[in-house]
Amino acid sequence: MTEENKDFKHIVRISMTDIDGKKSIIGGLIKVKGIGHSFSNAICVALDLDKNKRIGDLKDAEIQQIEEALKDPEKIGIPSWALNRRKDYDEGIDKHKINIDLKLQKEFDYKRLQKIKSYRGLRLSVGLPVRGQRTRSNFRSNKGKGMGVKKKKK
């Protein structure tokens, strides 16, 4: 067993997500809900980490750095266009949400749209597509919610 294998972690926990230690840093960070390829790349560049290094080889201090960067990405110099909640509806500031916070925020957004009875909100509540897709041939399998051709009952 070599010296580098002693410190290798097979599972790394970053922001309540277990990540396989064999993955690269970029590939591992993508497994966290709310982090995509470009945001993962931006974190690696801002923290000066090798993107191709295995995530299991990271030291505890580097993992802690990544955790802090995920909590406050603007603090390490990530631009606001890379965040996933730009000009948030409630507070009007740029944020980046991950994991359960992102899921809850999405649900609150959907409920707000349904409450004000916007077109998107009504379509979401019925389970139909929101962004102008056709419904004649698609979206037909969801319990008869499709609006296309209907067969006569015999």
Note whether 20 and 78 are same-domain residues.
yes
Q: Are residues 54 and 106 in the same domain?
A: no
* Total number of residues shown for the chain: 154
50 shares a domain with 107: no
Print the domain residue range for 43: 8-82
In a shared domain, residues 73 and 106 = no
Alpha-carbon torsion angle 103, 109, 114, 119, nearest 10: -110
State residue 94 phi and psi, 5-degree precision.
-85, 135
CA angle (100 as vertex; 94, 103 as ends), nearest 5: 70
Cα distances (angstroms) measured from residue 38 to each of 17, 35, 107, 147: 19, 8, 25, 38
Token pair, residue 57, equals 């080889």
Q: With H, G, I as helix, E, B as strand and everything else as coil, classify residue 55.
A: helix
Question: What does the pLDDT profile of the chain (154 residues) look like in tens digits?
Answer: 444 577 888 899 998 899 998 999 999 999 999 999 999 999 999 999 998 999 999 899 999 999 999 998 989 889 889 898 889 888 888 889 999 999 999 999 999 999 999 999 999 888 888 998 888 877 776 555 555 566 777 7
Please check whether residues 46 and 105 belong to one and the same domain. Answer: no
Q: Which of 48, 82, 116 is the last residue of a domain?
A: 82
**Contact (CB, 8 A) for 74 and 93:** no
Query: CB within 8 A of 46, min separation 6: which ones?
Result: 69, 76, 77, 78
Per-residue pLDDT at 2? 45
Cβ-proximal residues to 39 (8 Å cutoff; 6+ apart), any chain: 29, 73, 78, 82, 84, 96
The rounded distance, in Å, linking the Cα atoms of 154 and 50 is 66
